[in-house]
Chains A and B, each alone.
Chain A
Amino acid sequence: MMQDIIHQYLRPSKKFPHVWCPGCGDGIVLSAIVRAIHSLGKSKNETVLVSGIGCSSRAPVYVDFPALHGTHGRALAFATGIKMANPELTVVVITGDGDGLAIGGNHFIHACRRNIDITAVVFNNSIYGMTGGQYSPTMKVNDYGATAPYGNIERPFDVCDLASAAGANFVARATAYHAIMLEKFIKMGIAKKGLSIIDVITPCPTLYSFYNKAGKNIDMMESIRDRTITIQKAEQLSDAEKEDKIVVGIFANRDFPEYTGIYSDLMERAKRSVKDEELL
């Protein structure tokens, strides 16, 4: 059943095998995005996928939607132009932790602040996969990477805290292990008017595992499963107890006014103001 749905959305020709390594979580996340779009009854023609650069940003190649594979970090900026010029389109951004939070960090917070009706899914594996395993802005302190041979000394961003503080209407976290929960959150995000951020913890069993001796895909998936707790559970734990945990759930779900709607109101107001002036 699930496969039947996915097959309706794969590009009809030529695009396989995909670039992802065996055991990568990115396919699971893409599958959840497709199922969420499908279950909302969105038309393929009117759903646009926009991505940046990196492993996760290759996702739009494989599925049959109009798609813009942009420049590194700029997916939300390209998407903002698409949504502004045609607010009827459903716009879904696919980005990674490096793409979305490092080079694209400025666009990330400003898209949240504008609260424009776009859903961004952050494929968060805390490492730069495509370039060979360098540390990313979501890597934990003391994890290792190709550019952190003595252990990472930088504190990571909490994607959900950042998005919530910056003003996004819907903010949630799930993992590649919890695929059904993930699909539900993406669906809620797309249905929500305003900016939605879905942070997805996903394993990189090739490079993250190489530098951090995290084992095979199955070991990383089990580790994600065992470390995952709900927001309610997290509230009962001390900071030290939470340190290694992945907190999943809905961090923000609110109804601040949405940007393209506000702009449409502005257009009406502008036209009225000119007419009033002409009456003088």
Chain B
Amino acid sequence: MYKLMMQGNQACAHGAIVAGCRFFAGYPITPSSEIAEELSLLLPLVGGRFIQMEDEIASMAAIIGASLTGCKVMTATSGPGFSLKQENIGYACEAEIPCVIINIQRGGPSTGSPTMTSQEDFMQSRWGTHGDHNIIVLSPSSVQETFELTITAFNLSEKFRTPVILLSDEIVGHMTEKVILPDPDEVKIYDRKKPEVSPQDYLAYQFTEDGIPPMADFGSGYRYHVTGLIHDQTGFPTNDSNEIKKIKDRWMKKMIKGEKDIILTESIHTDDMDYLIIAYGSSARCAKRVVKIAREQGKKFGLLKLTTLWPFPDQIISRLTDKVKQVIVPEMNQGQAIREVKRVVGGKIPVVGVNRYDGEAMKPEDILTVINKL
């Protein structure tokens, strides 16, 4: 274990190396470029490979190709690049390819505010690619958590054969603060499940009990076909409506079965509260401070910090909102996560948003102004 000062984006790169990432493909974009820069330096030292592709689409494609050889892979981007990557994020969902996508959010739409912060991609991270699909999205609120959640992102991606998005933001990506790096052998690393049958008996998209088919490496003697077309258990395209429904049900099932591993939240003062703040990313830092100030003033506030954004933690929110008078959802957009909170709360209590979308960080005063009126 050792302590040092590190930037969020640097911590992400180091987390990736510890998680076992050995291939990164990316394209320069503010405010995520430091991740690529750091990995261009680190990867060749640990026997990994880095490539700067010709565009964002190609870098997403390249990591999928590399993942199929058995390699742990990652790419990093921000808003405009995240839009371009959606095509092949969908491919990774359809073909169940483990891979990690980092989005250091900036303001949008289009070129937007490249050097300023936002949480405007909350919905896009879930629904950015077309069609019904399942995906995991995690959100760090500190440099330490960026390091740790990058490792978690790899583990979940390997375990559930799915793309995992780390939805950070410009503040967390660019802040420098203390991190404690564990010894590599103290870190829990999960590797994808490999086939235990012979190549002749291997079904690339087998319906297993946990809904997760074992994945063979290209080049290892298992010759199978990977496609973005809907496919049956063999991996070959199908137009059979029974098969189409079966595979889509399996995708949903593997996520529901895995919720215990996937859904991560942090509760502060929620045992004894009248009001609940639900926040994520850099806004959650600010919300922590607000809870502290409010408690000092004798107001019983609690915080639910969402570490996993998607799948959305319905059950936890439903339970916590049974015993409070009101919910406050601060976020750096015009109100995205609040839609999900309202859906879960279902009108039983008021849900109020605190929204900042001018490129500046959420400040405690922004939230305090609202709660002082309660």
Sample of 7 more A-B contacts, CB < 8 Å, known A67-B225, A70-B91, A85-B49: A67-B223, A77-B57, A81-B65, A89-B219, A263-B49, A270-B41, A274-B45
Distance between Cα atoms of A1 and B88 in the complex (Å): 41
CB–CB B226/A68 < 8 A: yes
Chain A 117-158 interface mask (CB, 8 Å, partner B; 1/0):
000000000000000000000000000000000000000000
* A255-276, CB < 8 A from B: 263, 266-267, 270-271, 274
> Contacts A45-B223, A71-B87; is A85 near B55 (CB within 8 Å)?
no
CB–CB B228/A70 < 8 A: yes
CB–CB B71/A65 < 8 A: no
Contact of A48 (CB < 8 Å), options: B67, B70, B71, B219: B219
> Contacts A15-B236, A45-B219, A270-B44; is A84 near B226 (CB within 8 Å)?
no
Using C-beta atoms within 8 Å of the partner chain, give the interface range for chain B: 35 or more
A residues lining the B interface (CB < 8 Å): 14-15, 44-46, 48, 50, 60-61, 64-71, 74, 77-86, 88-89, 106-107, 110, 263, 266-267, 270-271, 274
CB–CB B58/A77 < 8 A: yes
Distance between Cα atoms of A274 and B68 in the complex (Å): 30
Contacts of B220 in A (CB 8 A): 45
CB–CB A86/B219 < 8 A: yes
Distance between Cα atoms of A46 and B234 in the complex (Å): 20
Residue B227, interface by CB 8 Å: yes
* B47-80, CB < 8 A from A: 47, 49, 51, 53-55, 57-59, 61-71, 73
CB–CB A267/B65 < 8 A: no
CB proximity of A79 to chain B, nearest CB, Å: 6
Residue B23, interface by CB 8 Å: yes
In the complex, the 5 A-B pairs of residues with the closest C-beta atoms, listed nearest first:
A81-B65, A81-B62, A85-B66, A77-B61, A77-B58
Distance between Cα atoms of A267 and B50 in the complex (Å): 10
CB–CB B45/A270 < 8 A: yes
CB–CB B64/A78 < 8 A: yes
CB–CB B62/A77 < 8 A: yes
Distance between Cα atoms of A83 and B68 in the complex (Å): 11
> Contacts A66-B223, A82-B65; is A14 near B236 (CB within 8 Å)?
yes
CB–CB A82/B234 < 8 A: no
Contacts of B226 in A (CB 8 A): 67-69
Contacts of A85 in B (CB 8 A): 22-23, 49, 65-67, 69-71, 73
Distance between Cα atoms of A60 and B223 in the complex (Å): 11
Query: Would you give 19 A-B contacts (Cβ < 8 Å), ordered by A?
Result: A14-B236, A44-B223, A48-B219, A61-B227, A61-B236, A61-B237, A67-B224, A70-B61, A71-B91, A77-B53, A78-B65, A81-B25, A81-B65, A81-B67, A84-B25, A85-B73, A106-B58, A270-B41, A274-B45
